[in-house]
Copies of this chain bind each other. A is one copy, B any other.
Amino acid sequence: MDVAKAENPQSSAQVAREVARMILTGVWREGTTLPREIELASRFDVSRTSIREALSLLKAKGLIASKQKAGTHVRARFDWNMLDEELLNWTLSALPTQEFAKQILEVRRIVEPEACAICAARGTDEDFARIERAYRGMDAAGMDRVAYAEPDLQFHRGILIATGNDFLIAFGATVAAALRMSFDLSSTNPGAPRKSLPYHRTVLDEIWARNPDGARQAMHKLMDLTEQNIVTAMSRQKKKDTKDTEDENARTRRAR
């Protein structure tokens, strides 16, 4: 009966999300020409305005490009701005693969220890105090993984901010996505996050001591731990997925 006589709220954001998902999951591959805007409008049951607003967002993130008459096509993967926060989140919910985890950890390993060293070398006491506050927040959260997540991000962001380098600060989006992934995975092992607390303490101590080498090394250790948690959580997940599939198959076999 179509009760929704009201206009579609946040339609453009929803469409953007959905189109992004279809691109990320390969429904629309690189080089593919998307359906025309009017077609998309009828398909998503929103106005062309909302479609255009959505596509405009994806254009800004390098996912697509448009040309008059020729249509809108999916750009090459190389042009996608994977360091964009929204795009990272979309990827995270569409394809939270092991490969994705591996890659994001690889860049963190490259960037964060160095950022940490720079932080120790030239951060201000104010910067350090902000990181210290974040640490206290983590400590106060105890075993509550939900409450732990936010100050954890603030801790890592604080270090990036302390570098005073706008590009390293922008890297915070990537760290945020990585932590969100870790959080999602920690559901199978709720105690894991808390275990990182002493590692954070060491990082912070080295920073306060204005010891770049020590800070770098401490952050590296933290990265090691993070990797360990992710790997074990994902193998567990994989095992569970496999089991689920087997169960599913068994059910299917029984059904026929």
Contacts and interface: CB of A to CB of B under 8 A. Distances in A.
Interface in A79-112: 80-86, 103-104, 106-107, 110-111
A82 B170 contact: yes
A173 interface: yes
A143 interface: no
A86 to B, nearest CB: 8
**Overall SS of chain A's interface:** helix
Given A56-B57, A56-B60, A59-B57, A81 B165 contact: no
A171 interface: yes
Contact of A173 (B81, B114, B174): B81
Contacts of A166: 77, 80, 82, 103
B165 A103 contact: yes
Contact of A60 (B60, B104, B167, B171): B60
A57 B169 CA distance: 21
Contacts of A53: 52-53, 56
Contact of A165 (B62, B106, B170): B106
Contact of A83 (B106, B118, B167): B167
Interface residues of A, number: 38
B161 A107 contact: no
Given A53-B56, A57-B59, A81 B167 contact: no
Contacts of A77: 166, 169
Contacts of A78: 157, 161, 169, 172
A19 to B, nearest CB: 13
B83 A170 contact: yes
Contacts of A52: 53
A170 B84 CA distance: 9
Given A60-B86, A82-B170, A106-B167, 11 more contacts: A57-B60, A59-B60, A62-B85, A78-B161, A81-B81, A81-B170, A83-B167, A84-B84, A103-B167, A107-B167, A167-B174
27 contacts: A52-B53, A57-B59, A59-B60, A60-B60, A60-B84, A62-B85, A78-B157, A78-B169, A78-B172, A80-B166, A80-B170, A81-B81, A82-B166, A82-B167, A83-B84, A83-B167, A83-B171, A84-B84, A103-B167, A104-B167, A106-B118, A106-B165, A107-B167, A107-B168, A110-B115, A110-B168, A167-B174
